[in-house]
């Protein structure tokens, strides 16, 4: 399945994290920022990186911005530029816009002018937002450090009906299942004899590479 086309506007820590994670998940990513240094730093980790002011309508039109599936507006504390960028992207036909808000009032304005989703960087880390975008089976992603995280995920098909003992995930995949959700019940530290059901939700902790392999297994 071909990846989607994502536009990331603003390359602070949040925007950079979103852009890199989306690109590493097999998607086309155009990253833009008015800061040339930030653009140069990410250029090897995305499909294309361009130095441009996101409030410059002529430049955005020239880049064919309206063809993108999703735009993530991650402009830092410049509230006015953030609002302008969302307005322009909406007018240019971007299908789905996620915007980072500085505070609740900023978030309210962003929703009013057409942002489909508003996130708060302190609460919604870039990597987590990106994982939620690219995989409907990965229900949540929490970045513990750049190389380590926790995911909530549906089990891969090959795991259905098997016990944790049979799967031996720690040895085979380098991950740990720390909890199992079944409906409203949450089983913390499930026993080795626990059988995984098709609708169970697994809470898994592991390294970024190992979690990415799990994500690919779930997709498959």
One-character DSSP codes across 175-211 = EEEEEEEETTEEEES--TTPBPPTT-EEEEEEEHHHH
pTM over 0.85: no
Query: What are the beta bridge partners of residue 10?
Result: none
| Banded pLDDT at 59 (limits 50, 70, 90) | very high
* Token pair recorded at residue 219: 């997709």
Q: How many residues appear in the chain? A: 220
Position 36 scores a pLDDT of 96
Mean pLDDT over all residues of the chain? 88
Structure-model confidence comparison of residues 141 and 153, the more confident one:
153
The answer to whether residue 46 scores a pLDDT higher than 90 is yes
Position 122 scores a pLDDT of 61
Q: Spell out the domains of the chain, with CATH numbers in brackets.
A: 5-131 (3.40.50.720), 137-219 (3.30.70.1450)
Contacts with 17 (C-beta within 8 Å, 6 or more apart), sequence order? 125, 126, 127, 130, 143
Mapping DSSP to helix (H, G, I), strand (E, B) and coil, where does residue 91 land?
helix
From 87-96, 132-141, 198-207, 208-217, the region with the lowest mean pLDDT: 132-141
User: What is the Cα Rg of the chain in Å?
Assistant: 19
User: Checking DSSP bridges between strand 28-33 and strand 70-73, what pairing results, if any?
Assistant: unpaired
Q: What is the mean pLDDT of residues 181-197?
A: 87
Q: What is the mean pLDDT of residues 195-200?
A: 93
Distance, in Å, from the CA atom of 92 to the CA atom of 183, rounded to the nearest integer, reads: 42
Mapping DSSP to helix (H, G, I), strand (E, B) and coil, where does residue 22 land?
helix
The answer to whether residue 1 scores a pLDDT higher than 50 is no
């Amino acid at each position: 399945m071909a990846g989607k086309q994502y536009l990331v506007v603003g390359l602070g820590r949040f925007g950079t994290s979103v852009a890199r994670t989306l690109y590493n998940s097999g998607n086309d990513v155009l990253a833009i920022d008015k800061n040339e240094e930030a653009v140069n730093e990410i250029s090897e980790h995305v499909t294309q990186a361009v130095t441009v002011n996101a409030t410059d309508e002529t430049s955005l039109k020239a880049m064919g911005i309206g063809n993108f599936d999703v735009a993530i507006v991650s402009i830092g504390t410049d509230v006015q530029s953030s609002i302008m960028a969302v307005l322009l992207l909406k007018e240019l036909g971007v299908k789905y816009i996620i915007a980072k808000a500085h505070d609740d009032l900023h978030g309210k304005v962003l929703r009013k002018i057409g942002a489909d989703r508003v996130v708060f960087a302190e609460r919604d880390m870039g990597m987590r937002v990106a994982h939620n975008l690219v995989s409907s089976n990965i229900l949540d992603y929490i970045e513990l450090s750049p190389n380590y995280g926790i995911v909530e995920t549906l089990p891969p098909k090959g795991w259905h009906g098997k016990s944790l003992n049979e799967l031996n995930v720690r040895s085979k995949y380098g991950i740990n299942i720390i909890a199992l959700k079944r409906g409203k019940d949450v089983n913390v530290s499930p026993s080795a004899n626990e059988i995984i059901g098709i609708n169970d939700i697994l809470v898994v902790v592991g390294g970024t590479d190992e979690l990415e392999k799990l994500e690919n297994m779930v997709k498959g």
